[in-house]
A and B are shown apart, each in its own frame.
Chain A
Amino acid sequence: MSVPVKEVPFAGTVPSPQKENEGMITGSWRTRRPILDCDKCTDCQICWISCPDSSINLSDDGLTFNLKYCKGCGICLEVCPVGAISLVPELDFED
Chain B
Amino acid sequence: MTSEKLFEESGLKQITVWARGVYENKEARDVVVALTEAAAQEGKYVQAWENYVDLPDRIYVPVRAYGKISDQEIESRYVYENETPDIVALTEETLVKGVDILAGIKPETVLVVNTKRPAEYLYKFLKKGTENLAKIVTVDANSLAKSIITLSGAEGATDASGIGKGIGAALAAAIVKATGIVRFESLLKVVENKNAAQKAFEKAVVVEVKTLVRAG
CB–CB B98/A28 < 8 A:
yes
* A residues less than 8 Å from B99 (CB atoms): 28
Known: A90-B94, A90-B97, A91-B94. A31 touches B125 (CB 8 A): no
* B residues less than 8 Å from A89 (CB atoms): 94
Known: A90-B94, A91-B93, A91-B94. A30 touches B60 (CB 8 A): yes
Choose among A27, A72, A94 the residue that contacts B124 (Cβ–Cβ < 8 A): A94
Give a binary string over B136-158; 1 marks a CB under 8 Å from any A CB, 0 the rest: 00000000000000000000000
Give a binary string over A13-29; 1 marks a CB under 8 Å from any B CB, 0 the rest: 00000000000000111
Interface of B is mostly: loop
Q: Residues of B at under 8 Å CB distance from A?
A: 20-21, 59-62, 92-94, 96-99, 115, 117, 121-122, 124-125
User: How far, in angstroms, from A71 to B20 measured CA to CA in the complex?
Assistant: 12
Give the residue among B20, B94, B96, B98 with the most A Cβ atoms within 10 A. B94
Chain B, residue nearest A32 (CB): B94
Known: A71-B60, A72-B60, A73-B60. A27 touches B98 (CB 8 A): yes
Chain A, residue nearest B61 (CB): A29
Choose among B94, B96, B117, B124 the residue that contacts A30 (Cβ–Cβ < 8 A): B94
CB–CB B117/A31 < 8 A:
no
User: How far, in angstroms, from A29 to B96 measured CA to CA in the complex?
Assistant: 11
CB–CB A29/B124 < 8 A:
no
